Amino acid sequence: MKTHQATHRFGWRKLFLFLVLIAAGAWPAQAADKKKIIVGFSQIGAESGWRTANTESIKSEAARRGLELKFADAQQKQENQIKALRSFIAQGVDVIAFSPVVVTGWEPVLREIKKAGIPVVLSDRAVDVTDDSLYVTFIGSDFVEEGRRAAVWLAKAADGKAVIAELVGTPGSAPAIDRKKGFEEVMAKHPGMKIAKSQSGDFTRAKGKEVMESFLKSPDAKQINALFAHNDDMALGAIQAMDEAGVKPGKDILIVSIDGVRGAFEAMAAGKLNCTVECNPLIGPQLFDAVEAIMAKKKLPKRTAVEEGVYEMSQAAAELPKRKY
C-alpha cells in the first residue's frame, strides 16, 4: 500500500523520464561533468608578507569554489618549481598555474606541459619565452608602473634632488627587473636624483636589514638621503638597520617601497616609512576565474592587470584598519 502511494506521489511521468535518461546514458554524463577541477599550483616560497597573503588568497579561493588544489612551495628555487610542474604533468591535473621565481629558463618545461595538453596560467610574475602559446594567460601587476610610481613620489618629496640607496628584489625576477626599469625611467627626467648604492636584498626582511647595515657602514653613507626598496619587507628590515645605527628612518632618509602590506602601514603610522606603492597579492579570485573560463573553453585575454594605488604616511592611520593583508 505504502509503496503504491509513494509511486503515485513520484508520478508515473517523472519515473518514465528518469528511466529514459538512464537508458540514453545522460545521467552518468551529467555526473561526470561535475567532476572536480584539479589545479596544480607552484608557489615561489614564503619570502615576504606579500607572498604569504598571496598563498592564502589562492588556497582559500580554491577551497571556496570546491576545486582541488595541489599546492607546491618551491622555497625560492627554480629547480624545485620545475620539479613541481613535471609532477603536475604526471598527476594529470586539469590546469597548471605558477608564479615563476625568475623570468628565464622555462621554455623546455612549458613545452612538456603543452605536449601533455595542459593549459598554463601565469600568476603574479611573467616569463621570458619566445613562444607565447606556451601559456594561456598572465594575471599580475604592472611592475614597471609600480617602479614609476615610486620614483614619481620620491621626485616630488625630495624636490628632484636625492642620493638614493636601492634594495633590489630577487636577481632575475620580473618585479626586480621591471621595478628598476620603471624607477630609472622617471629618474632620467630628474638629473638631481642618482642611485648611489644598489644591491639585492632578495625580497626578504633579513637580507634587507643586512644590506642596509653595509650601506650605512660605507664611507659615503652620510650622503644617502633616500631609500627605494623593491618591496616592503626589505624596507622594514632596512628601517631596523637605521634604528640600530641611530639614523632616523622616514626623516634622515626618505623611504619608498612597494607592496602595501600591513607592516608598511604600521611603519608609516609610526613615522618611519614615507610611502608604499600598492602591489595587490589577493589575486586568488581572478586566478580561478581564469581556470574556470579555460575549463569552459572560453577565450581569455593574454594579460589581466591588477588594480593598485599609492599610499603616503598621512593616509596610514585611516587606511590601516581597512588593510586585508
Our CB check for ligand AHR shows the closer of 120 and 163 to be 120
Our CB check for ligand AHR shows the closer of 21 and 325 to be 325
Minimum distance between the CB of residue 109 and ligand AHR, rounded to whole angstroms?
20
Single-letter amino acid, residue 274? N
Spatial neighbors of 211 by CB under 8 A, at least 6 apart, are 167, 199, 200, 201, 234, 238
Minimum distance between the CB of residue 232 and ligand AHR, rounded to whole angstroms?
7
Minimum distance between the CB of residue 27 and ligand AHR, rounded to whole angstroms?
46
Minimum distance between the CB of residue 209 and ligand AHR, rounded to whole angstroms?
15
Please report, for residues 216, 237, 245, 257, the alpha-carbon distance to residue 210 in angstroms, rounded to integers and kept in the order given.
10, 8, 12, 17
Our CB check for ligand AHR shows the closer of 247 and 260 to be 260
Minimum distance between the CB of residue 231 and ligand AHR, rounded to whole angstroms?
4
Our CB check for ligand AHR shows the closer of 99 and 274 to be 99
**Phi, psi angle pair for 54, to nearest 5°:** -65, -45
**Binding site residues, ligand AHR, CB under 6 A:** 47-48, 50-51, 124-125, 175, 203, 231, 233, 258-259, 279
Our CB check for ligand AHR shows the closer of 94 and 178 to be 178
d(CA 216, CA 53): 31
Minimum distance between the CB of residue 261 and ligand AHR, rounded to whole angstroms?
8
Residue owning grid cell 608609516: 268
Our CB check for ligand AHR shows the closer of 37 and 174 to be 174
Q: Which of 272, 195, 262, 274 is nearest to 233 (CA)?
A: 262
Our CB check for ligand AHR shows the closer of 43 and 94 to be 43
Minimum distance between the CB of residue 281 and ligand AHR, rounded to whole angstroms?
7
